[in-house]
Structure 1
Amino acid sequence: MTSILRPCGPAPPAAIYSDVASAFAAFQAHAKANGYALRQRDSRPFRTLFVCDRAGKYDARGKQKDVHSSKRRQNTGSKKCECPMRVALVQDKVSRQWEVRVLEATHNHAASADSTAYPAHRIASAPAEIRASIDTLAKAGLPNA
């Protein structure tokens, strides 16, 4: 059986937003429809940077050679592949509106076949009562199962 890989869709389109939260929601909706997800990399008072969730390198925490092999984590992996796609959200100092600036539009990986491959999309698609239950348990200090 052969698998047909489709490329990731385009970066979020140029737009103006009133706040970072609404921009991020629009980014995630666009990314979900195009086979990828975004995460916030850093934020400053007038600029917020979003990157593909596959940006960065594999972090081999728990795999250090000085840790005894019986305590070393086995069979770990990562989705990270140093994807260069980046989008900045910059606030105009006069109008206080947030403008989208695509810094790098291309991905170096194929699109995911299913949006449930991304935790951000799974959480967003969960019914409101389940999300409320998760929030309540988290505030009570209970781990999610």
Structure 2
Amino acid sequence: MSRVIFMCDRGGVFKGQETSSRNTGTRKIDCPFELHACYYKSNDVWMLKVKNDQHNHEPAMFLEGHPFARRLTPKEVEMVAEMRRNNVPPWKILEVLKSHNENNVSTIKTIYNESNKIRIDERAGRSQMQVVFGFLHSKKIYF
């Protein structure tokens, strides 16, 4: 038997780091909505139990607030990587993505996050100083 629990993305309680001085926010408001699904392999049947069908908040008016909706497709990730290599500014990258896909609800933060992932992959686990020294060494610049 396999089990899956479906909860509202606003369910649960935020457990922040008490030692941090950073002012953080949360989407978590302890929404009680919860469904339990069980798959019975012997009968090839799914059973769904509604634990709580109520939300303690209004439905979202716009998809921009949901991280799932802001995700980039693999093709869009490739476009971001290519434009980044060509030194296109993030606001222009976002503009191009939105012009290619009218349903794209990504934000500038999505572009910054993707650029950061690409940068980390390019560095291959090396620190910024290691990258600089590697670049200088490849150009045979010594001091």
- Normalized against structure 2, the TM-score is what? 0.49
Greater relative contact order (Cα 8 A, min sep 6): structure 1 or 2?
1
Say which one has the larger Rg: 2
Which is helix-richer, 1 or 2? 2
Per the normalisation by structure 1, the TM-score is: 0.48
